[in-house]
Structure 1
Amino acid sequence: MTMRAAVNGIEIAYESFGSPGGRPLLLIMGLGAQLIHWDDDLCELLAEQGHHVVRFDNRDAGLSTHFHDEGVPDLGTSSSYVLDDMADDAAGLMDALGWPAAHVVGASMGGMIAQALAIRHPRRVSSLTSIMSTPGPGMAQPTAAAGAVLFAPPAPDRETALARALETWTVIGSPGYELDRERLTRLTGLAFDRCYDPAGTARQLAAILVSPDRTGALAGVDVPSLVIHGEDDQLVPLAGGQATAAAIPGATLLTYPGMGHDLPRPLWPDIVGAIAKLTAG
């Protein structure tokens, strides 16, 4: 069931898995993605490891508040907000949940937000897992092919959105694993029907581009940290994960050959096991 919380002057939509008595685990999704992009089965696996899992829609995504009045930004020069504001949203959601602290897992832009959360609210983060992310966009430039799909014009309708998703993930997905086209089409349709807002995605991208590099600040992060990255990621190349791990004292870097900018189902047991080991410690 989707619930809503008043957070940081906006509304955040969220869902939970597992026992409320479990270790709090906050999942932060990436650019233009919604809470449903944390797969139900993956959330259940994390819950089975003793976590109380919460996934949520970032601002300008899904059923959370959208900044429609701000329109489409001029990328690279203006932004309605920055990643620090999105990190404050996450901290506010933890307040609403009654969590003094949580284990935080972020993917792609979500990893950037998780990093900012650990920097801005260090006492609220019990452990940090940054997946397919980077301390700053200049450290891991997308390939030409990945950049082309990232900056492609928004789909004008549902049918085009479904076709565009298949094209996109064929480029940036995991070349070492078969693309689950049926699951991707179903999930894209669900996301489109739940909320389709290309301007919101553009505002999130603008926040990434105008936010400062976090490398220096990450040196002050003093919690158990895990960095997970695909060795064949075209959207945020491996250099981004390597830079993240190098910036955080004591961080563990876990990389997978054949993994691109997604989380292939065959890797879930290993990834869940690594996160559970981190949070249990």
Structure 2
Amino acid sequence: MKVTANGIQIEVEDSGGEGRPVILLIMGLGMQLIAWPGEFIQTLVDSGFRVIRHDNRDIGLSEGFDEAGTGSVIWQSVRQRLGLPVRCAYSLQDMADDALGVLDALGVGRAHVIGASMGGMIAQRLAASAPGRMASLVSIMSSSGARNLPGPRADVAAALLRRPASRTEAALVEHGLGFSRLISSPAFARDERAQADRIAQALRRAYRPAGVVRQILAIAADNGRADLLSKIASPSLVLHGEADLLVPIACGKDTARRIPGARFVGIPGMGHDLPPPVIEILLEHIVPFLKTAENRS
């Protein structure tokens, strides 16, 4: 369903029913709400929670910003390395305000907020800017954005910006598979067919590469978030894969270090993806954490 949030149209899925404590899920760069694995959502619902997820702006079925164009990612990355402002169509704070607007539209006063990758960055901004609306924060495979942190491995960074061979579905699926292989969790078996099916499903729902570029620029422009993390007052859990080649584990450790009282858990063999065995491990940490935070509120 569509809701008006922060003045724009945002696509939302709502599971578990009213009268339960709420979890808001925020997905990462270029990923749609369907990227949250079904078993993850179902376990949270079975644990007594109402689970709300949405397409971030410019992705999936939410409102786009094509009129803003994209500009040059390469030139803006040069500006970022030089410490100059990065020009972007919108900010991660705008996206945090979108998430807050989703809660407003659904009449939710407080929520546990779980963000993955870029979604973790958005969740951190939400926690810092609207502390009264946060029951807890879970930041998964994300970063504080501090300037001294390591970036993606060189081949992963190059693959992130590489264009597909064509815009046929077959070429786009193969392009997506190639990138997912690079960042997958090396300690856990990979189901190529299932991954291909998930990529195809997402493409058929929405294909918006320009939106991905604008989100990349929003991440690059977000150079002040690290200093805000000390303002987060909610119970916070930071989870990160020890084999993450896109957002190295140092980024997660720095996030936890900057959030007062945050708990950090490194996951051996986890990369930058959510295969079923990783989901199971994450839930073993997340569900007890959420229940403890809920009992304290």
TM-score (norm 1): 0.96
What is the rounded CA distance, in whole Å, between the counterparts of 1:5 and 1:148 in structure 2? 36
2:32 matched residue in structure 1: 34
Q: RMSD in angstroms over aligned alpha carbons?
A: 1.2
Partner of 1:196: 207
Match of 1:17 in 2: 15
* Count, aligned residues: 279
1:66 aligns with 2:64: yes
Alignment CA distance shift 1:179-1:137 (3 Å):
farther
Q: Residue 140 of structure 1 aligns with which residue? A: 150
After TM superposition, the score normalised by the length of structure 2 is 0.91
1:261 aligns with 2:272: yes
2: CA distance between counterparts of 1:9 and 1:36? 23
Structure-2 separation of matches of 1:31 and 1:232: 19
Q: After superposition, where does 1:87-166 map in structure 2 within 5 Å?
A: 87-136=96-145, 138=147, 139-154=149-164, 156-166=167-177
Shift of 1:269: 2.7
Match of 1:174 among 176, 180, 185: 185
CA separation in 1, counterparts of 2:261 and 2:71?
38
**Gapped regions of structure 2 (runs ≥ 5):** 77-85, 293-297
Q: How far 1:16 sits from its partner (Å)?
A: 1.7
Report how far residue 260 of structure 1 moved.
Answer: 0.2
- Are the equivalent residues in 1 in contact too, given 2:146–2:226 (CA < 8 A)? no
What is the distance in 2 between the residues matched to 1:279 and 1:256? Answer: 18
Where does the alignment leave 5 or more consecutive residues of structure 1 unmatched?
none
Paired AA for residue 73 in structure 1: G
Structure 1 range deviating more: 233-242 or 169-178: 169-178
- Partner of 1:219: helix, strand, or coil? helix
In 1, the alpha carbon distance for the partners of 2:269 and 2:230 equals 30
Which aligned runs of 4 or more in structure 1 are off by greater than 4 angstroms? none
The reply on whether 1:214 has 2:205 as its aligned counterpart is no
**Partners of 1:20 and 1:148 in 2: how far apart?**
44
Q: Distance in 2 between matches of 1:236 and 1:21?
A: 36
In structure 2, give the amino acid aligned to 1:143. Answer: R
Q: Which moved more, 1:269-278 or 1:205-214?
A: 269-278
1:44 CA drift (Å): 0.6
Identity among equivalent positions (%) equals 43
1:85 aligns with 2:74: no
